[in-house]
Homo-oligomer: A and B are copies of this chain.
Amino acid sequence: MMTAAKIFIVDDHYMVIEGIHSLLQHETHLEWMGHAMNAESCLAFLRNRQPELIFMDINLPDKSGIDLCKEVKQKYPSVFIIGLSTFNQQSFISRMMENGASGYVLKNASKDELLLAIQMVMRGRIYLSHEAAMTADKKSSDAPVLTRREKEVLELIADGLTTQEIADKLFVSATTIDTHRKNLLTKLDVPNVAALVKMAMKLQLLGN
């Protein structure tokens, strides 16, 4: 029997916080440390106290859970993080895992699944929500893999910047951006930026 695991949650949805709290409050081997509703206050909390496990929503008002995950893991490598989201967006899940998350559960998880996830993750294993694991292969098949730079360029293209403007912004030659754009069109199999942006939105490769 291990000592009570300290749990913290970051989610901007009050009902989700209450939901998890309610589900876990009578578990004597778990200690509820509280919650944060944005990345900022989460980091502030961590400066003083350290939970062993954090449930972290992917959509936060001030910063994506993916970035927050990375930051938290850099500063506090020993903390376990379980991603939390309504949908099973494979791209988000894998990016969360790349950034050091130990697991991922959907918000429609049952109490049993939550407890199982906590148990496994606290033992150093990976837990992926059943449904999340299911769609894992499905999504990855039709959503092409973009590199970090390509995503960056894609984002700027969608913001309406021209090749030259993007080049200036990223301190590289315009031809480089041109190549990236070319590769983006090929990867997403579209003829021009208009279709590119639409496709990217559809595949949720584009924030905002």
Contact = CB atoms under 8 A, between A and B. Distances in A.
Most buried by B among A22, A107, A198: A198
A73 interface: no
A124 interface: no
* Total copies of the chain: 2
A196 B190 CA distance: 17
Main DSSP-derived SS at the A contact region: helix
Interface string A1-44: 00000000000111111111111000000000000000000000
A23 B18 contact: yes
Interface stretch (A96-104, A133-141, A153-161, A170-178): A153-161
Interface of A: 12-23, 86, 107-111, 157-160, 162, 190-198, 201-202, 206, 208
23 contacts: A13-B19, A14-B107, A14-B108, A14-B110, A14-B111, A15-B15, A15-B108, A19-B19, A19-B22, A21-B22, A158-B194, A159-B194, A159-B195, A160-B190, A160-B192, A160-B195, A160-B196, A160-B198, A162-B192, A193-B194, A194-B197, A197-B197, A198-B208
